């Protein structure tokens, strides 16, 4: 597969993931489409072009780790795990149902999920723990963690940021889904995050700023992050909340509500 | 009687465990000299991480290390381990059933001069409310070593509560088994159930009671979870009342645990020696025990009152 073909493959996968996200949340009747859709391109690329893993052997000791710190966007995680072959795709439609292995927020009952999340701000620390374990064991696996922009208002994130730089965790790559919205409104109005890039740099991180919907830029960013030594990297990805569904884009309305039957039909049509 | 710091024993035990098991990792948050994890740090610097004054990060990082195959011991003062990082204990450690051993030092009123901000009187309540986590309150130095070893050998989260001051090593406790309380004195008049440093205080009360012709059964309830319900119910049936002693608020700790068991199975009069809706304050531990009615004389009075009013 050449670069062009790879990007076409990833774009097609991303579209498929978006369809699954809409279908799952619609079927469940609740969930968080906005942030799932904004991080779809970033994490689809990670799963199908970057991550070293074996869905048939989820506990392979040398696997790269992925952790979704913004656990409310788990429909994306579940869709990616099913598409990768960790479990069958028909399970996806049990999201949030009683007895389902796909909980409303992720936990370790789901094959391929390393750690629970949902209470925001803890995932970067969990990833840091995985990164330190690799260092102790002298293993070369990498650790990736997805964070939301509203999430980094949590103080725990900055404690972890300080520690990851202190321990020179160059096997750790954070991905920030900077879609600019949180439940109560735009991040700049609720609790301004700027200046964001210099903040992470000041904490000792290597920063890579990209368009989080451009596959070419996404792939380059992951590649670049692998080469950074002696410090952790963060990909600060500018994204569009609700990306891919016109009426969900750049609005907080679909942060945490399921589409109606009519909205689902419209959304899926746009994602054909 | 031999007097030991539980923390000293903890630090030495960690080093011992670390020699035998390369997967043991130790974390601290800028208190390694007080908690004695510094001993491990000196011996195994590559397996020790200091996180500075940042307990929340330490707790969630511990979960990440544990899900990657490590047996993690982490320490800070009880007030910070249980209070400051509670959400991380709940969501990252216990919900994951992660192999993290929280060894919290400087618990209770006996912290002394540091005062209320540093005296954890709520930690057992906070931990007891979370599923999965096992809870041990060792009564002395010797038992601290046993508790730490048991935690290392048993998968899953633990909360081990240690004090700041030296405590006397109690004789003839018998073997230590997780979840099995120890009967230190036999008696059929009344039962005293205690944990931590209150066990030695209770032992003194037993002596005073004996002088008055009251035979008290003293139970060292070193494990709060899994709780030895059998020994509590046996005491409820065989003696005329129970006095529970803990260096903790009367809400949510050992007294509550005992109350819950007897109320549900064999309603029995239970008197509570603990801190009643108050914060602590600075002072010498012995003075504080008296001020907060935790001294052996208070236990004795409570036992007599219990017997007087019983059915």
Tens of pLDDT, residue by residue over B160-207, are 999 999 999 999 999 999 999 999 999 999 999 999 999 999 999 999
Beta-strand relationship, A181-182 and A185-186: antiparallel
Alpha-carbon distance B212 to nearest alpha carbon in chain A (angstroms): 56
Helix (H) or strand (E) holding A5: helix A3-28
With respect to residue B58, please indicate whether it lies within any of the assigned structural domains: yes
Last residue of a domain, one of B135, B168, B201: B168
Could you list the active site residues of B? 55
Contact state of A155 with B87 under an 8 Å Cβ cutoff? no
Statement to judge: residues B290 and B239 lie in one domain: yes
pTM, rounded to two decimals: 0.97
Mean pLDDT of chain A: 98
Residue B174 lies in a domain: no
**CB A129 within 8 Å of CB A59:** no
Helix and strand element counts for chain A (H, E): 10, 7
Same domain for B129 and B212: no
Q: Do B60 and A122 touch (CB under 8 A)?
A: yes
Q: What is the pLDDT of residues A134-170, one digit of tens each?
A: 999 999 999 999 999 999 999 999 999 999 999 999 9
pLDDT digits (tens, 9 = 90+) for A96-128: 999 999 999 999 999 999 999 999 999 999 999
Q: Which residue in the set B52, B56, B96 is minimally distant from A115, CB to CB?
A: B96
Optimal mutation site among A129, A157, A164, interface B, most CBs of chain B within 10 A:
A129
The answer, yes or no, to whether residue B311 has pLDDT greater than 70, is: no
With respect to residue B223, please indicate whether it lies within any of the assigned structural domains.
yes
All residues of chain A having their beta carbon less than 8 Å from the beta carbon of residue B67 are 108, 114-115, 126, 129-130
CATH number for the domain harbouring residue A44:
3.40.50.970
Q: Chain B partners of A65 at a C-beta cutoff of 8 Å?
A: 68
Tell me whether residue B304 is in a domain: yes
Both B10 and B151 in one domain: the answer is: yes
- Measured from the Cβ of residue B107, the count of other Cβ atoms closer than 10 Å reads 29
Q: Residue A63: its chain B contacts at CB < 8 A?
A: none
Residues of chain B positioned with their CB less than 8 A from the CB of A145: none
Give the pLDDT confidence score for residue B210 in this predicted structure. Answer: 98
Q: Give the range of the structural domain holding residue B86, as residue numbers without chain letter.
A: 3-168
Among all residues of chain B, which has the CA nearest to that of A137?
B23
**Do B58 and B111 share a domain, yes or no?**
yes
Label residue B1 by pLDDT band (50, 70, 90). Answer: confident
CATH number at residue B27: 3.40.50.970
> Does A110 contact B at CB distance below 8 Å?
no
Does residue B298 share a domain with residue B187? yes
Same domain, B99 and B137: yes
Mean pLDDT of B302-311: 86
The enclosing H or E element of B200 equals helix B198-211
pLDDT tens sequence across B63-94: 999 999 999 999 999 999 999 999 999 999 99
Helix-, strand-, coil-residue percentages of chain A, each rounded to 5: 50, 10, 40
C-alpha to C-alpha distances, B50 to A89, A151, A170, B29, nearest whole angstrom: 43, 25, 18, 6
At residue B310, the pLDDT reads 66
For the complex shown, is ipTM > 0.85? Answer: yes
Q: B60, A156: Cβ pair inside 8 Å?
A: yes
* Same domain flag for B262 and B204: yes
Contact B277, B283 (CB under 8 A): no
- Judge residue A230's burial from the number of C-beta atoms within 10 Å of its C-beta, 0-12 exposed, 13-18 middle, 19 or more buried: exposed
What pLDDT was estimated at residue B309?
72
Q: Which residues 235-264 on chain A approach chain B with CB closer than 8 angstroms?
A: none
* Residues B111, B65 share a domain: yes
**Within-domain flag for B263:** yes
> Do B41 and B154 share a structural domain?
yes
Q: Is A168 on the interface with B (CB under 8 A)?
A: no
Q: In chain B, where do the E strands start and end?
A: 3-5, 24-28, 48-50, 71-77, 100-105, 134-136, 158-161, 166-168, 182-185, 190-194, 216-220, 223-225, 242-249, 270-275
The answer to whether A122 contacts chain B (CB < 8 Å) is yes
Residue finishing a domain among B119, B135, B168: B168
Q: Which residue of B has its CA nearest to A65?
A: B68
Residue B176 placed within a domain: no
- Indicate the number of domains in chain A: 1
* Residue numbers in B near A108 (CB within 8 A): 67, 96-97
Chain B closest CA to A94's CA: distance in Å?
Answer: 21
Question: Domain of B276: which CATH number?
Answer: 3.40.50.920
**Residue in A118, A133, A166 closest to B65 by CB:** A133
Do B219 and B154 belong together in one domain? no
Q: In chain A, what residues touch B66 (CB-CB under 8 Å)?
A: 129
CB distance B92–A126 less than 8 Å? yes
Could you tell me if residue B177 is inside a domain? no
| Cα B95 from chain centroid (whole Å) | 22
Mutation target for A interface from B23, B29, B60: give the one with most A CBs within 10 A. B60
Tell me, yes or no, whether B281 and B243 share the same domain: yes
Taking the Cβ of residue A134 and every Cβ of chain B, the question of whether any pair is shorter than 8 Å is answered with yes
In a domain, B173, yes or no: no
Look up the domain containing A110 and give its range: 3-270
**B193 and B269 share a domain?**
yes
């Amino acid at each position: 597969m050449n670069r062009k073909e790879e990007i076409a493959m990833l774009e097609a996968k991303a579209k498929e993931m978006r369809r699954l996200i809409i279908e799952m949340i619609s079927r469940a009747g609740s969930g968080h489409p906005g942030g799932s859709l904004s991080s779809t391109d970033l994490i689809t690329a990670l799963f199908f072009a970057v991550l070293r893993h074996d869905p048939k052997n989820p506990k392979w000791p040398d696997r790269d780790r992925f952790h979704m710190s913004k656990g409310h966007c788990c429909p994306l995680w579940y869709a990616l795990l099913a598409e990768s072959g960790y479990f069958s795709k028909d399970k996806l439609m049990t999201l949030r149902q009683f007895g389902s292995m796909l909980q409303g927020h992720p936990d370790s009952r789901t094959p391929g999920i390393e750690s629970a999340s949902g209470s925001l701000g803890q995932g970067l620390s969990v990833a840091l723990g995985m990164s330190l374990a690799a260092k102790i064991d002298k293993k070369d696996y990498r650790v990736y963690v997805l964070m939301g922009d509203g999430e980094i208002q949590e103080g725990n994130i900055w404690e972890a940021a300080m520690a990851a730089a202190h321990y020179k965790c160059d096997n750790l790559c954070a991905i920030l889904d900077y879609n600019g919205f949180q439940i109560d409104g735009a991040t700049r109005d609720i609790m301004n995050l700027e200046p964001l890039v210099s903040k992470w740099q000041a904490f000792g991180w290597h920063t890579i700023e990209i368009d989080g919907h451009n596959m070419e830029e996404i792939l380059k960013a992951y590649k670049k992050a692998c080469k950074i030594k002696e410090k952790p990297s963060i990909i600060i990805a500018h994204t569009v909340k609700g990306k891919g569904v016109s009426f969900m884009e750049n609005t907080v309305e679909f942060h945490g509500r399921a589409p109606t039957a009519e909205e689902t039909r419209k959304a899926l049509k746009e994602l054909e | 009687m031999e007097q030991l710091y539980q923390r000293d024993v903890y630090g030495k035990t960690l080093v011992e465990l670390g020699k035998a098991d390369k997967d043991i990792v130790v974390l601290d948050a800028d208190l390694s000299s007080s908690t004695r994890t510094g001993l491990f740090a000196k011996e195994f610097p590559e397996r020790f991480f200091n996180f500075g004054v940042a307990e929340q990060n330490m707790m969630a990082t511990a979960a990440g290390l544990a899900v990657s195959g490590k047996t993690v011991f982490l320490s800070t003062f009880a007030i910070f381990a249980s209070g400051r990082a509670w959400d991380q204990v709940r969501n990252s450690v216990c919900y994951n059933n992660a192999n993290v051993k929280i060894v919290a030092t400087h618990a209770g009123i006996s912290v002394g001069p540091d005062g209320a901000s540093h005296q954890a009187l709520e930690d057992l309540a906070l931990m007891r409310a979370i599923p999965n986590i096992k809870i041990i309150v060792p009564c002395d130095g010797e038992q601290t070593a046993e508790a730490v070893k048991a935690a290392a050998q048993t998968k899953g989260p633990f909360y081990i509560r240690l004090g700041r001051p030296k405590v006397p090593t109690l004789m003839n406790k018998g073997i230590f088994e997780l979840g099995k309380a120890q009967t230190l004195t036999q008696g059929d008049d009344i039962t005293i159930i205690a944990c931590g440093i209150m066990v030695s205080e209770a032992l003194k009360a037993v002596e005073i009671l004996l002088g008055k012709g009251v035979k008290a059964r003293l139970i060292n309830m070193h494990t709060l979870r899994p709780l030895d319900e059998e020994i509590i119910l046996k005491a409820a049936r065989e003696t005329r009342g129970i006095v529970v002693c803990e260096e903790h608020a009367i809400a949510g700790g050992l007294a509550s645990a005992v109350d819950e068991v007897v109320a549900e199975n064999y309603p029995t009069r239970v008197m509570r020696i603990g801190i009643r809706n108050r914060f602590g304050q600075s002072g010498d531990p012995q003075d504080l025990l008296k001020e907060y009615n935790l001294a052996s004389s208070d236990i004795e009075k409570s036992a007599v009152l219990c017997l007087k009013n019983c059915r």
